[in-house]
Amino acid sequence: MNMIWVSKLEITGSIYQDETSIRVQEIKLRMSVPHVLIFPLPLQGPVNCMLKLAELLCLNQDIHVTFLNTEHIQQRLLNCTDVQIRFEKYPNFKFLTVPDGLPEDNPRNGDQIRKIIEGIEEVSSPLFREMVTCASTTEKPLTCLIVDGIFTFALDVAQQAGIPLLYFDTISPCGLWTYLSVPKLIEAGEIPFKGNDLDALVNSVPGMEGFMRRRDLPSFCRAPNLDSRIIQLVIKEGKHIVQAQGLIFNTFEALEGSILSQFRALCPNIYTIGPLHSQMKAKLASQCLPKTATSNSLWKEDMSCMDWLDEQPNKSVLFVSIGSLATMSKAQFFEFWYGLVNSKTRFLWVQRPGSITSLEEDDINAPRELSESTKERGCIVSWAPQEEVLAHPSIGGFLTHSGWNSTLESIAEGVPMICWPYFVDQQVNSRHIGEVWKLGLDMKDVCDRVTIERMVRELMEVRKIEFLERAKQMSNLAIASVGEGGSSYQGLDRLIEDIRLMKI
């Protein structure tokens, strides 16, 4: 009996040891799985862009992703999209939130950018620091941080925690390059501007000599003195961003290769992974997953416009949208409306709530001729599913604010553009669209009905075939970049592999 008892004890002990060993291995496995923390600037464009990257990382089951939103942005996403349900299918993903330091009634539009950034620095960044520091003691310690390039505080946080930092600046590389060139522009005396000639060429942005004018520089360059809070922040960003372990860009080599070569002289580790929305579609297709339309919108999308588009002739409609942050005055609003109507072109116009300053939603009082002409040839909605709209066969042009997401979505779908930039990188983007990439017309600093009518006719009638052919060529290059073996396909693969290697 003793022998039997001993045998049972040995067997029981063996089972216990096996279970303990398995548990230890499970813990080691969890600790060895890469864990990425993503923190976007709390605006529509950066959040949309980084959520797409997060989902691409989640498609690789061995990468965990924590996505840090402000409370305001998270609530907007929950109210307007299926984002919570969509990401529940990824067990390796979770949302966390922090306050942004702004009162709830702050409109958080383009006029509030400075306050948004200050709120993040004062209120959100200490919580971000604490989160990163505490994460090192958890079962899933952080492998790397992917943070918006404007968050200069992230460099110090990452260095103190000993965690690799990748900056993801979701504006255009050509726009960001002008940011990094601000010290050269100051040293050369090209900013602040002397005199009022906005068409004077600037020569201190390497790689852009000969075509960049004063009016094509980022909007903050028009500040009358160098004490501008934004200029000082941009100079600080330029010093910090190149100290990261790498830079992620939503672009592709065939579009911005010359500018990317300038960046690589300062930061050799560049990941080009765009257009991200096309990359997402390609990855889903390659894994035989349904390419269902997804939305990361902060506004409820009015899908009725898609039914209206279905009834329009091929390439006949001009899509009009000034994005999620830009605003226009009441006078500019009516100049736009008259210009569109007078052009006799069909149009789908997004009139975002709050985008027209000093105008109540029920206080438009449109003249009769505008209302009647719009009923004949137009469709007005408060917000639209932009990716789907631009992909619709009836769309022949895009009157845009030249935000980078909008620009890339238009390029990928082969849609020529009329550019009416508002701020940040949009002045730079619009110059490249018109002068460098030859994908449309630049209407910056102009807002009168005669010019709008003329440019709409030029894009949609006079030079329609020319612009569509050029846009199709660039679209083919964009799609090829995310296809197997393409530059952005390889860039994403390298990013994922480098994140995995950070854990070894």
Residue 32 predicted with pLDDT over 80: no
Gap between the Cα atoms of 211 and 225, Å rounded: 24
Q: What does DSSP assign to residue 92?
A: T
Q: 290 pLDDT band (50/70/90 cuts)? A: low
Instruction: Look over the chain and give the mean of its residue pLDDT values, rounded to a whole number.
Output: 91
- Most confident segment among 105-109, 324-328, 361-365, 415-419: 415-419
List, in order, residues 6 or more apart from 162 with CB less than 8 Å away. Answer: 136
Q: How many CB atoms lie within 10 A of CB 336?
A: 23
Strands 93-98 and 64-70 turn out to be: parallel
Region of poorest pLDDT, from 95-99, 228-232, 287-291, 424-428: 287-291
Q: Check residue 217 and give its pLDDT.
A: 97
Gap between the Cα atoms of 248 and 416, Å rounded: 26
Q: Check residue 26 and give its pLDDT.
A: 45
Q: For residue 409, give the 3-state DSSP assignment.
A: helix
Residue 27 predicted with pLDDT over 50: no
Q: Check residue 6 and give its pLDDT.
A: 38
What is the tens place of the pLDDT at every residue in 462-496?
999 999 999 999 999 999 999 999 999 999 999 99
Gap between the Cα atoms of 161 and 164, Å rounded: 9
Q: What does DSSP assign to residue 460?
A: I
Q: Check residue 287 and give its pLDDT.
A: 77
| Centroid of chain to Cα 125 | 21
Residue 30 predicted with pLDDT over 90: no
Q: Check residue 367 and give its pLDDT.
A: 87
Q: How many CB atoms lie within 10 A of CB 130?
A: 12
Q: 228 pLDDT band (50/70/90 cuts)? A: confident
Strands 35-39 and 144-148 turn out to be: parallel
Strands 93-98 and 144-148 turn out to be: unpaired
Angle at 421 between CA 356 and CA 250, to 5 degrees: 115
Q: 113 pLDDT band (50/70/90 cuts)? A: confident
Residue 340 predicted with pLDDT over 70: yes
Q: How many CB atoms lie within 10 A of CB 79?
A: 10
Gap between the Cα atoms of 334 and 446, Å rounded: 14
Gap between the Cα atoms of 89 and 78, Å rounded: 16
Residue 362 predicted with pLDDT over 90: no
384 vs 62: which has the higher pLDDT: 384
What is the tens place of the pLDDT at every residue in 368-390?
889 999 999 999 999 999 999 99
Gap between the Cα atoms of 457 and 185, Å rounded: 37
Average confidence (pLDDT) over 262-267: 94
Q: Are 250 and 23 in contact (CB under 8 A)?
A: no
Residue 5 predicted with pLDDT over 70: no
Average confidence (pLDDT) over 327-346: 96
Gap between the Cα atoms of 466 and 360, Å rounded: 40
- Strands, sheet with 395-400, edge to edge from the N-terminal-most edge strand: 378-381, 346-350, 317-321, 395-400, 417-419, 440-442
Gap between the Cα atoms of 81 and 273, Å rounded: 25
Average confidence (pLDDT) over 275-287: 90
Alpha-carbon radius of gyration of the chain: 25
Q: How far is CA 316 from CA 139, 242, 334, in A?
A: 56, 45, 22
Gap between the Cα atoms of 278 and 491, Å rounded: 14
Per-residue burial over 9-27, b = 16 or more CB atoms within 10 Å of its CB, e = otherwise: eeeeeeeeeeeeeeeeeee
Q: 4 pLDDT band (50/70/90 cuts)? A: very low
Residue 194 predicted with pLDDT over 90: yes
Identity of the residue numbered 116: I
16 vs 73: which has the higher pLDDT: 73
Is residue 290 packed enough to be buried (19+ CB in 10 Å), middle (13-18) or exposed (0-12)?
exposed
What is the tens place of the pLDDT at every residue in 399-440?
999 999 999 999 999 999 999 999 999 999 999 999 999 999
Gap between the Cα atoms of 398 and 413, Å rounded: 11
Q: What does DSSP assign to residue 122?
A: I
Q: For residue 323, give the 3-state DSSP assignment.
A: coil
Q: Are 404 and 422 in contact (CB under 8 A)?
A: no
What is the tens place of the pLDDT at every residue in 78-92?
999 999 999 999 999
pTM of the model: 0.91
- Of 215, 116, 174, 140, the C-alpha closest to 423 is 215
Q: Check residue 293 and give its pLDDT.
A: 62
Q: Check residue 61 and give its pLDDT.
A: 74
Residue 444 predicted with pLDDT over 70: yes
Gap between the Cα atoms of 402 and 219, Å rounded: 13
Region of poorest pLDDT, from 19-33, 91-105, 183-197: 19-33
Tokens at 39, concatenated: 């923190």
Average confidence (pLDDT) over 13-42: 65
